[in-house]
Amino acid sequence: MFKAEKSPRWRMFVVSHTHWDREWYLPFQKFRMRLVRLVDKLLDILKRDPDFKVFMLDGQTIVLEDYLEAEPERREELEKYIREGRILVGPWYILPDEFLEGPEALIRNMMLGIKKASGFGAVMNIGYLPDMFGHIGQMPQVLRGFGIDCAVVWRGVPLEVKDNEFYWEAPDGSRVLTAYLRYGYCSGANLPTGFEEFRRRIRRAVDMLSPYAKTENLLLMNGCDHLEPQPELPKLIKRFNEESEDVELIHGSLPAYFEALKRSNPVLSSYRGELRSYGRAYLLPNVLSTRIWIKQWNHRCEQALEKLVEPLIAWAWLLDPDSPESLARLRRDSSLCWLAWKYLIQNHPHDSICGCSIDAVHEDMKYRFKAVEEISEELIRENAEAIARSVDTDDLPATRLDDSHAVVVFNPDYGPRTDYVQVRLESSTRPRSIRVVDRSGRAYPAQLLGFKEEELSGVELRKDERLRYALQMLEGGRIMGWVLRKGEVNVEEGTVYVKLVVADRGSPNVEEARRVAEECRRLVEKPEVEKVVVKVVKNLVDVLFIAEDVPAYGYKTFVVEPSEEEQPSPSSRGLFIENEFFRVEADPRLGTVDIYDKENHVVFKGCNRFVDDGDAGDEYNYSPPSVDTVVSEPAQPPKIAVLENGPVRAVMRIDMDYMLPTGLTEDRSSRRKELKKFPITTYVTLYRGVKRVEFRTTVDNTVEDHRLRVVFPTGIETDKVYAEGHFEVVERPVGPPTEGVETDEEPLGTYPHRSFVDVNDGRYGLMLTDRGLPEYEAIPSGDGVKLALTLLRAVGWLSQMNFKTRRQPAGPLIRTPGAQCRGRHSFEYAVIPHKGGWTQAYKEAHFYVNRLWAFETGFHGGELPPEGSFIEVEPPSLVVSTVKAAENKRGVIVRFYNITDGEAEGRVKLYKPFSKAYLTSLNEQPIKEVKPDHDGYLRLKVRGGKIVTIRFDP
């Protein structure tokens, strides 16, 4: 604890630190070389000089892993100084970008960081946020959820925050004491080693900071990007203190600084909400759309872990929570799940996920994304199959047992829900069409999407012992782990050709196996037959159907089987598609679409218009060239065709060729006159029973230095737009923000969002939702607000300078040809016309993002009924963000938040009896026990914006 020895006018805490960008303008391994050198030097300084009090390793713990992989023998020294408080680590695993790392990923990041730091002896319990490109509004509540009541920020703090210290509040009223780094995290970097220069530098810092201080305590950050500790600092501080009467320097830490602040008990101003101001420091807003493939891939990985892997692990364990086998599987799968999270979070530092590094860095990210996907796929498969095997499917009305399939459809979201689901099944034959029924025999709309014969193995056998052995093995109906469904035998020019159709699951068709073996024996006895060629194949059928009334956070079981009915042929004529809710008609000249809302009699005209403009900026900021060429129409009329008009969906394809400038001129002042074809194909889809219009757009990016957006005119006059953020919905202005001062960085109207952004006037609205496309702009116009979604931003520099939207560099001036994102890209988004405000439509947006998933199983008994919810959470305003196994391996964690401003009367119920339930912190520490009512429901009052975590112990 800091104790004052005298009472000068100012006490300046000099915090020695490094800001460690793990990968940025160099790849990770090259920066690791510098890290090893830095930590070696730090350990030597601490050992040699007891007056070098403390050094902060950037609020992260991954640096410990990176260092010890190279020098594991120094772990004991690290632990010693961390326990003594001379090296400060945590609470983060990595310093993330707050807007691009998802809400639950932020929580996993801090859980992992605290766990790692605790393993070394101590955690720095400060919300250190030094260089994030703005801050989410719910960060104060997230920090308080981990027992952290102080934060440090720099970018995004608005001008209305006048002082160095303020209270930052979340939507639910949670607040943290916050230090504003007015001059950044490098305010005391590279302090002079000569005393007179040192003294002058300190005096200048005091003069700059003291006018904004509410107490006698000042904060000077002695460090910067990748800087090593300054060993001479203790002697300089000692001499300064000996000579100074009005200023005392303390070689201290952030915890010591906040301790002094709290003792001073100042009266501070408060600020509520997100911090995204351009007024003081570069916000660098267009990292939201740089290297868009990173954002899309990250979205897929987060969805897999949060909506499938974690809940499936939890529900599979809860089937038999006390058995040794189930506990062993839980321990194994939880460890693998955390390994996947580690790989993913290693892609979340702002220089990584933002796409604002050299090309080599982002190539390295691909391996981590692939690792997450591979681990997730196996965990999903194993746990989904375990749950599906426990579902009672015996009484389902299957009519063709050979090719009938029991399919369990999982719903990771609210319900009951009606939506489409796609599943790939094995079949012995090529069906003409598909029939889908539930346990009552009720039929559902279904379409056969495709059939594929996949060759698994092939072998050529002569007339010898190997052939006789193979035929003997075949009679059992099992081939290399597969089961035989059907066989075909043909002879041609002295060769017997055998095709064996197999499947992964089910019982072998032994009778068919014997027939094929006998037919082969008969044919090979003929003298003209010299050999047998065997091909093992699997018939795969892709089926699409409408699953109605799937329970919330649960499942419903269907029978999928072949049908002899003819499937309707697609129509290639016409310029429109429709379902019971909407009619979508294509413009034959422009390729845009008009959307007619049949229920509310509203028309949205000119939707899905592609607008391409030049980009003379860099990986951080979009900037139009001085003379821009904006292209918003195809070069010739598009090709339009209705591809499908079936019982499940109608699909219209629109093919367009835009002619775009090939890049920027040499001086980057305008787009080139040379044009190149830029193909755009959009598939517009309407599903039966689904209240949204879905789009999938593919492009072949053949040009450079440009931004491609898709625009939806709403026709709605309003000055507000609503965007889903982290555990909240944020109200923002239409158009760019007004800062009130001239800024070095031009404020833009582009903002981040999660699942949706909505424009409404209280009577009617249009919601835009997407999968992994985080940048939008609400553009004011004479005909109402237009919503623009950024699909692609192609640039060629890590950083540049002197362009329209930013004057100074934001990083080194390095060419990054990979950031031009040449080649093919695919984008998925949808619109939801709706009555009233955004609260009337957000569930549909969540349904679009959180798809139904289907898994095949056999026909068998089981402890679970054919349909049900694993957890009930009411009302709909309580949005479930996670279901996972508790870290103590003795419970299930359910987390939800109130997405609205008003208080909700919450009701939560587990599908099976539980022994106890606790409200917990975000780090899963129990706060208090919650007792269920006589119906087994937990009842809670949940304030607007509040995040609630419950642990159920079976």
Domains in the chain, CATH or no CATH each: 10-281 (3.20.110.10), 288-389 (1.20.1270.50), 449-540 (no CATH), 869-953 (2.60.40.2220)
Give the mean pLDDT of 650-660. Answer: 98
pLDDT digits (tens, 9 = 90+) for 755-777: 999 999 999 999 999 999 999 99
Residue 308 has pLDDT above 50, yes or no: yes
DSSP code of 638? Answer: P
Residue 572 has pLDDT above 70, yes or no: no
pLDDT digits (tens, 9 = 90+) for 387-420: 999 999 998 998 766 788 999 999 999 999 999 9
pLDDT score of 889: 94
pLDDT score of 3: 47
| 201 three-class SS | helix
pLDDT score of 946: 98
> Bridge-partner residues for 939, per DSSP?
907
Residue 719 has pLDDT above 70, yes or no: yes
Cα–Cα distance measured from residue 394 to residue 307, given in angstroms and rounded to the nearest whole number? 28
pLDDT score of 1: 44
pLDDT score of 91: 98
The contacts of residue 468 (CB under 8 Å, 6+ apart) are none
Indicate the range of 282-296, 462-476, 655-669, 849-863 predicted with least confidence.
462-476
pLDDT score of 401: 65
pLDDT score of 794: 99
DSSP code of 112? Answer: H
Cα–Cα distance measured from residue 71 to residue 68, given in angstroms and rounded to the nearest whole number? 5
- CB atoms under 10 Å from CB of 937, counted, come to 15
Give the mean pLDDT of 60-75. Answer: 98
pLDDT digits (tens, 9 = 90+) for 829-888: 999 999 999 999 999 999 999 999 999 998 999 999 999 999 999 999 999 999 999 999
As a whole number, the mean pLDDT across the chain is 95
For residue 285, is the peptide bond before it cis, meaning its omega torsion is within 30 degrees of 0?
Answer: no
CA 385 to chain CA mean position, Å = 25
Residue 595 has pLDDT above 90, yes or no: yes
Reported confidence tier of residue 571, pLDDT bands at 50, 70, 90: low
190: its two tokens: 């590279």
pLDDT score of 239: 98
Residue 535 has pLDDT above 70, yes or no: yes
Of residues 465 and 902, which shows the higher confidence score? 902
Is the distance from CB of 595 to CB of 715 less than 8 angstroms?
no
pLDDT digits (tens, 9 = 90+) for 783-797: 999 999 999 999 999
pLDDT score of 471: 80
Residue 463 has pLDDT above 90, yes or no: no
Residue 427 has pLDDT above 90, yes or no: no
pLDDT digits (tens, 9 = 90+) for 104-122: 999 999 999 999 999 999 9
Reported confidence tier of residue 568, pLDDT bands at 50, 70, 90: low
Reported confidence tier of residue 473, pLDDT bands at 50, 70, 90: confident
Residue 931 has pLDDT above 80, yes or no: yes
Is the distance from CB of 387 to CB of 312 less than 8 angstroms?
yes
Cα–Cα distance measured from residue 577 to residue 803, given in angstroms and rounded to the nearest whole number? 45
